[in-house]
Amino acid sequence: MYLLVAYSLMAGIWAIAANFGAPHDIPVFWGNTYIGDKVVHFAIVGVFTVVLARAMWRAGWQAEISLLMSIAITMLLSSVEEASNALTPHRTCSYGDLAADFLGALTASLLAWLMEIRSVRLGWRRHNFVRPHGIPS
């Protein structure tokens, strides 16, 4: 849970800095599009989705439900954040950013799910339906 709080603070500081005009685009262009900005959206939202799913799972949710709920919550928050950019003077609402957010959430979740299946199949750890630290169901 501490990791989720630390990550949320980092993302909040990033958003506040961007609202005050701090440079937030990595200068990589493809045509007229900042690819670096899309990469940052993809990465930060993807990691947030997996961290949120992990926090929900540790709180007692089933693994698949926590992953699906974290995807839904992340997509909702990303949509609200992009819509709020239209109301902020130094920001713009971008469908490209929203697409990068959605793809980041889905890709990171898929990778986390595939890694979990592989680790269970290879016997690296017990299946994740067993609650962590021996907490009774």
Within a domain: residue 24?
Answer: yes
Within a domain: residue 40?
Answer: yes
- pLDDT of 125 above 80: no
- Domains of the chain: total: 1
Within a domain: residue 135?
Answer: no
Within a domain: residue 10?
Answer: yes
Cα 61 from Cα 72, distance rounded (Å): 15
Q: CA dihedral in degrees (26, 28, 31, 37; nearest 10)?
A: -30
Within a domain: residue 136?
Answer: no
Which helix (H) or strand (E) segment holds residue 29: the answer is strand 29-30
pTM over 0.75: no
Residue 77's domain spans which residues? 2-130
pLDDT of residue 130: 47
- pLDDT of 134 above 60: no
The per-residue pLDDT of the chain, averaged, comes to: 77
**pLDDT for 42-101, tens place per residue?**
988 998 999 899 888 888 888 889 999 999 999 999 999 889 888 888 778 888 889 999
Within a domain: residue 57?
Answer: yes
Contact 120, 128 (CB under 8 A): yes
Contact 100, 78 (CB under 8 A): no
Within a domain: residue 137?
Answer: no
What's the rounded mean pLDDT across residues 104-123? 80
Within a domain: residue 47?
Answer: yes
What's the rounded mean pLDDT across residues 102-130? 74
pLDDT tier at 39 (50, 70, 90 boundaries)?
A: confident
